[in-house]
Amino acid sequence: MNTLSKNEIYTAAVEALSSDGAGVCRIDGRAVFVKDALPGETHEIKILKDSRTAVFAKSEKRLVSSPERIEPDCPHFPKCGGCTMRHASYKTELEAKLQRVNDAFRRIGHLDLVADEIIGSEKISEYRNKAIYAVGKDGFGFYRPRSHEIIPISRCALQPEQADIAAKSVCRFMRENEVAAYDEASRKGLIRHVFTRIAFASAQIQVTVVSAGGLGAKTKNLVGAILEDLPDVTSIVLNINKSAGNTVLSGDFYTLYGSDTIEDRLSSLSFRLSPMSFFQINPPQAERLYNIAVDLACTGSPDLVLDLYCGAGTISLCLAKRAKRVIGAEIVPSAIEDAAANAALNGITNAEFICADAAKVSKDFALQGIKPDVIVVDPPRKGLTEDVITAITQMSPQKIIYISCDPATQSRDLTLFQSLSYPPKTAKAIDMFPRTNHVECVVLMSRRDV
């Protein structure tokens, strides 16, 4: 293997995009990753690091530009790290994401499976209904990639303007009341994060201020500052988070103004959302994702659908409109409480929810001889464990629907499912997070004898 020395300069043509949105070129047979470079471009690059498994470089000069390169519409790109694709046309972004999905199927899963389309988002800016701003001595912003350095911002192009206004309001309160930002190293100071949630269907706004301790008599000043700048706010919550580390929401919650929750809609269903509730960040795209999953799962009217990793029950309740019975399972107790409450809110009586680990549910159902017609899984980014996959297949469902936000772990898991008589049949990619490198994919597997 040829070693590329640090600070060496090369002229290189960019051939593709990596899974994290970097340009990929080849030098002496080595793949070299160049941040913010696009396919079809030629760059003069400087080698930054050769780790033997990967080579990283930066562009010193762009010699040939791609016709798909655009001027970034955010002054904070690419420093803040929230976006990776603001320099490329949306067409290029979608093509790269679809390619990423299919490359994972082929190279990681060694699968004869192709997603032939990706469903793009109608909105590629201001589409997020949730924002988490870190607060530091210089204001609010986001962490620089792979660091705890806060990059201060004035406006985030992914968020509705009300979210930025809420964060600015909290920072103004801090200045006027001499309230310090929390410092992770010394564990001194108070304000850690500003967490906002905006319900697009109802226009309700929830602002959660995360603090390492109480604010005492200054609490009313915090409420007053937010109401002055954001008079339409529905809910103001104080989260006292005394934990070490980078968990944003933890500890006790106190409603300072308005309601404990806000209400949003998805697929004609209503959902009450507290700060800890899980809800999809891009609801229109989530609707498209769920419609695909439900159509694949419920070609008829299945007697029983098991929804593992059900969260607050969004997919379960969508499935319940077409299945005779749905059981949702989730290990997070607050999520299960939300799921049951959301079922009651919508008058849905054929969905029930259990608080348990996916592996335990799968094994218990298999031992009890409970055989769902369809099993839906939407696991975290790390994917499924082998024992969960084995237990799922032992229940012998006719179909398994696998929803994933990581094509690599999904492809790995699909290979094991295929070896256990569940080959993948259909794949659809959905862009849930425009201007970032993330992509969702839904895969249908059918039992080999069906």
Query: What letter represents residue 110's amino acid?
Result: H
Left if phi > 0, otherwise alpha if psi is -120 to 50, otherwise beta: which for 75? alpha
- The 10s digit of each residue's pLDDT in 431-443 is 999 999 999 999 9
State both tokens at 63. Answer: 């010699």
Question: Would residue 405 show up in a list of annotated catalytic residues for this protein?
Answer: yes
Q: Give CA–CA dist 143/328, Å, rounded.
A: 35
**What is residue 1's predicted lDDT score, i.e. its pLDDT?**
60
**What is residue 450's predicted lDDT score, i.e. its pLDDT?**
59
- The 10s digit of each residue's pLDDT in 120-146 is 999 999 999 999 999 999 999 999 887
Same fold, 9-64 and 130-266: yes
Instruction: Flag whether the pTM goes above 0.75.
Output: yes
Query: What letter represents residue 34's amino acid?
Result: V
Of 252-261, 363-372, 417-426, give the lowest mean pLDDT range.
Answer: 363-372
- The 10s digit of each residue's pLDDT in 313-344 is 999 999 999 999 999 999 989 889 999 999 99
Q: Which CATH number fits the domain 9-64, given the four candidates 2.40.50.140, 3.60.21.10, 2.40.70.10, 2.30.30.90?
A: 2.40.50.140
CATH class, range 130-266: mainly beta
Alpha carbon 60 to its chain's center = 32
Q: Are 431 and 119 in contact (CB under 8 A)?
A: yes
Indicate whether 157 pLDDT > 80.
yes
Fold of 101-121+282-446: Rossmann fold (3.40.50)
**What's the Rg (C-alpha) of the chain?**
24
Contacts of 117 (CB under 8 A, 6+ apart): 98, 428, 429
**What is residue 146's predicted lDDT score, i.e. its pLDDT?**
77
- The 10s digit of each residue's pLDDT in 214-246 is 999 999 999 999 999 999 999 999 999 999 878
CB atoms within 10 A of CB 155: 13
Quickly list DSSP for 172-208: HHHHHHTPPBPBTTTTB-SEEEEEEEE-TTT--EEEE
Give CA separation, 311 vs 74, 314, 333, 345, 350, in Å: 33, 7, 10, 16, 17
Question: Domain residues of the chain, as ranges?
Answer: 9-64, 101-121+282-446, 130-266
Catalytic residue among 25, 80, 318, 405: 405
